[in-house]
């Protein structure tokens, strides 16, 4: 849209007279009482980074304009005009005009991410989620998963420490807000995406808010989405397990690969971020001393023709690079290879009588 202005969700909510929970005012997601249902507490989440809202009680969602329009009973066009008039200090700069940063080299990204993870902790809540997938405490520690801090003040403090040692321009996830460095991303835990040499190329966030959205997102600060001096993440491929192996399993999703590799005695897993995100797959396979690729995509997805097509692309890439290819199938009651291996582990260690269905 030409000259479209993104209106801050908090401004719109305040103009609508929404009651906000004071203790959440400094959070990325501010909670408010939902005006669309019989909400007695604060189920309407106002995401200040994406300027979107969503009620966890009634499912109503939208942006600043549709929220204002619904509450005041005007159409979206009128709502937009009124908001632009009422909200002070919003400049008419299309988001795409914001300067983009060139992607920082791998060595710098690794150093920044490594130190960032050092400054963060893993909450008990997230640790429990990871234990539930079958990983040991030791492996969880080794893989360096961390929880995203919820408040702006915590993020700013951490980013300030990092910016004292590194230029953060060009490192996906970081951006300038009110003249100070901070980082983007919703609540959840961070999954480092390693290359074959153990460098952190980028990170994904396993979102706490999976419903109605994507479970996994890149730790990214795309300037086209309004992040000043931000940088968009690439679709990096995660390498986990023994990088000297002659056989690699290709699967979808870094965490899935981490779990499967753990159960298979550190077998090598090459994890694409999505079934169709194969951009970095050829160079990743080429960088490893491989003879064979084993395709281990989710079983349920093989029914989907588009996924089957993407899967045959993996086979094509493997063969084009002179590698043998073998598809791997397992008990179709278990969606992912990690689910299957965990169930098998529970069964073989006598923790369950029968292979449980997941
Ligand atoms: Zn509601």
**Cβ-based neighbours of 256, under 8 Å, separated by 6 or more:** 271, 336, 337, 338
* Centre of ligand 1 from the C-alpha of residue 38, in Å: 7
pLDDT average per 10 residues of sequence, the chain (358 residues): 70 89 82 92 87 88 92 93 79 52 93 98 96 95 96 94 96 94 93 97 88 77 88 96 96 94 96 89 96 89 76 91 92 86 86 65
Record the tokens describing residue 134, joined without a space. Answer: 């079958």
What's residue 351's pLDDT?
80
Shared domain for 257 and 330, answered yes or no, is yes
Length of the chain: 358
Domain assignment present for residue 14? The answer is yes
* Centre of ligand 1 from the C-alpha of residue 26, in Å: 22
When divided into structural domains, the chain yields a total of 3
How many degrees, rounded to 5, is the angle at CA 262 between CA 285 and CA 132?
125
Q: If DSSP codes are grouped into helix, strand and coil, which group holds residue 288?
A: coil
Full domain range(s) for residue 205: 106-225
* Centre of ligand 1 from the C-alpha of residue 289, in Å: 54
* Centre of ligand 1 from the C-alpha of residue 57, in Å: 5
* Centre of ligand 1 from the C-alpha of residue 34, in Å: 5
What's residue 2's pLDDT?
41
85: alpha, beta or left, given left = phi > 0 and alpha = psi -120 to 50?
alpha
Shared domain for 221 and 242, answered yes or no, is no
* Centre of ligand 1 from the C-alpha of residue 36, in Å: 5
What's residue 101's pLDDT?
73
What's residue 358's pLDDT?
43
Shared domain for 173 and 201, answered yes or no, is yes
* Centre of ligand 1 from the C-alpha of residue 52, in Å: 14
Q: If DSSP codes are grouped into helix, strand and coil, which group holds residue 182?
A: strand
Alpha-carbon distance 173 to 189, whole Å?
Answer: 14
29 near 101, Cβ under 8 Å? no
Domain assignment present for residue 48? The answer is yes
The domain boundary residue, chosen from 79, 97, 115: 97
Alpha-carbon distance 320 to 246, whole Å?
Answer: 17
Domain assignment present for residue 1? The answer is no
Domain assignment present for residue 356? The answer is no
* Centre of ligand 1 from the C-alpha of residue 226, in Å: 28
262 near 136, Cβ under 8 Å? yes
């Amino acid at each position: 849209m030409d000259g479209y202005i993104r209106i801050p969700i908090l401004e719109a909510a305040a103009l609508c007279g929404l009651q906000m929970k004071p203790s959440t005012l400094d959070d990325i997601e501010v909670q408010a009482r939902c005006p669309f249902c019989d909400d007695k507490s604060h189920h309407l989440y106002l995401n200040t980074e994406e300027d979107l809202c969503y009620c966890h009680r009634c499912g109503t969602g939208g942006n600043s304009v549709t929220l204002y329009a619904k509450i005041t009973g005007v159409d979206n066009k009128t709502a937009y005009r009124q908001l632009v008039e009422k909200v002070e200090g919003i400049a008419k700069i299309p988001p795409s005009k914001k300067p983009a940063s060139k992607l920082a080299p791998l060595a710098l990204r690794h150093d920044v991410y490594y130190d960032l993870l050092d400054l963060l902790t893993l909450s008990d809540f997230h640790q429990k989620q990871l234990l539930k997938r079958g990983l040991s405490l030791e492996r969880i520690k080794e893989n360096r998963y961390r929880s995203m801090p919820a408040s702006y003040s915590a993020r700013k403090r951490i980013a300030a420490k990092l910016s004292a040692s590194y230029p953060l321009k060009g490192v996906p996830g970081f951006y300038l807000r009110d003249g100070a460095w901070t980082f983007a991303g919703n609540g959840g835990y961070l999954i480092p995406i390693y290359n074959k040499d153990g460098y952190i190329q980028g990170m994904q966030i396993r979102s706490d808010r999976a419903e109605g959205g994507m479970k996994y997102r890149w730790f990214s600060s795309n300037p086209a989405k309004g992040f000043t001096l931000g940088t968009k993440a690439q679709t990096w491929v995660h390498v986990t397990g023994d990088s000297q192996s002659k056989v690699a399993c290709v699967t979808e999703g870094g965490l899935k690969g981490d779990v499967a590799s753990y159960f298979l005695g550190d077998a090598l897993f090459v994890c694409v971020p999505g079934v169709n995100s194969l951009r970095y797959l050829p160079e990743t396979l080429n960088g490893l001393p491989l003879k064979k690729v084993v395709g281990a995509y989710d079983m349920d997805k093989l029914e989907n023709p588009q996924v089957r097509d993407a899967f045959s692309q993996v086979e094509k890439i493997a063969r084009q690079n002179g590698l043998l290819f073998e598809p791997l199938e397992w008990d179709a009651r278990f969606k992912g290879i990690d689910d299957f291996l965990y169930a098998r582990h529970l069964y073989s260690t006598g923790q369950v009588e029968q292979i449980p269905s997941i």
